[in-house]
């Protein structure tokens, strides 16, 4: 299966992995690893962590150069719309990554192959592996083909980034320390629910939940904004 993936990457994107074990790791879900401990393999969670950071930097750099007149707030909102679960999962599907991820039997039966959060993680893990294998330039070359053209035609312009909106609202009169805290993670591995709160200068403004930390933080920020708006109307 990994060799088929490697062939497709070469044909579609001109990517030739030097270390196929990295590619194999990127497409190994924790459920598969847990069911095949005798193989002594790794899952893709560490690569996901790395890929998340690499993608955020690479996309930020492109937005900075492509839109020299946009202020920081609008650039942040645009970036948030690209790196959200819906965005990254759609890129995974476009690249056919959903065909190649290795899942445990239980996850497969639960339809995890089509789950947006899993495909988001997979896209990040792949780019983490590509970065380790060939460096940042290879990641840029890949997303130049799959993400940048969509950015340049305005596909991500209509997105409400509640975290940025909350920051702008709270900091209109000066600096305010805003922090998001993960309160808990509930549910089985295939249906995780994250509970998060947001605080400004130590005062809790709202709580939210979602299938990923990103979603939960957006939900908490939206609730905080709603409360601020309600208080302004009542006063």
Spatial separation of the C-alpha atoms in residues 224 and 208, rounded to whole Å: 9
Q: Is 52 a catalytic residue?
A: yes
**Coil vs helix vs strand at 210:** strand
Catalytic residue among 43, 107, 116, 124: 124
Longest CA pairwise span in the chain (Å): 64
Q: How many CB atoms lie within 10 A of CB 126?
A: 30
Contact (Cβ atoms closer than 8 angstroms) between residue 91 and residue 17: no
Catalytic residue among 24, 25, 48, 52: 52
Spatial separation of the C-alpha atoms in residues 50 and 126, rounded to whole Å: 10
Q: Is 116 a catalytic residue?
A: no
Phi, psi of 149 (to 5 degrees): -60, -35
**Coil vs helix vs strand at 186:** strand
Contact (Cβ atoms closer than 8 angstroms) between residue 86 and residue 116: yes
CA 16 to chain centroid, in Å, comes to: 24
Residues with Cβ within 8 Å of residue 164, at least 6 apart in sequence: 73, 76, 77, 80
Phi, psi of 187 (to 5 degrees): 90, 165
Q: Would you state the structure tokens that stand for residue 63, as one six-digit string?
A: 């937005």
Active-site positions?
52, 124
């Amino acid at each position: 299966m990994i060799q088929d993936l490697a062939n497709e990457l070469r044909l579609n994107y001109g990517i030739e992995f030097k270390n196929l074990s990295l590619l194999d790791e990127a497409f190994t879900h924790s459920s598969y690893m847990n069911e095949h401990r005798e193989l002594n393999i790794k899952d893709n969670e560490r690569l996901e962590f790395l890929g998340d950071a690499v993608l955020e930097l690479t996309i930020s750099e492109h937005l900075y150069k492509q839109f020299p007149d946009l202020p920081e707030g609008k650039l942040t909102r645009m970036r948030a719309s690209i790196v959200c679960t819906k965005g990254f999962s759609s890129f995974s599907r476009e690249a056919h990554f959903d065909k190649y991820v290795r899942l445990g039997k239980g996850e497969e039966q639960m339809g995890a192959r089509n789950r947006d959060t899993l495909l988001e993680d997979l896209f990040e893990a792949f780019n983490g592996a590509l970065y380790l294998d060939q460096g940042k330039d290879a990641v840029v070359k890949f997303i130049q083909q799959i993400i940048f053209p969509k950015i340049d035609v305005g596909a991500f312009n209509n997105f409400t980034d509640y975290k940025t909106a909350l920051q702008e609202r709270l900091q209109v009169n000066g600096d305010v320390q805003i922090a998001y805290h993960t309160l808990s993670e509930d549910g089985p591995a295939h249906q995780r629910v994250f509970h998060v709160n947001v605080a400004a200068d130590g005062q809790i403004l709202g709580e939210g939940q979602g299938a990923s930390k990103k979603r939960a933080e957006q939900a908490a920020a939206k609730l905080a904004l709603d409360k601020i708006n309600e208080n302004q109307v009542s006063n």
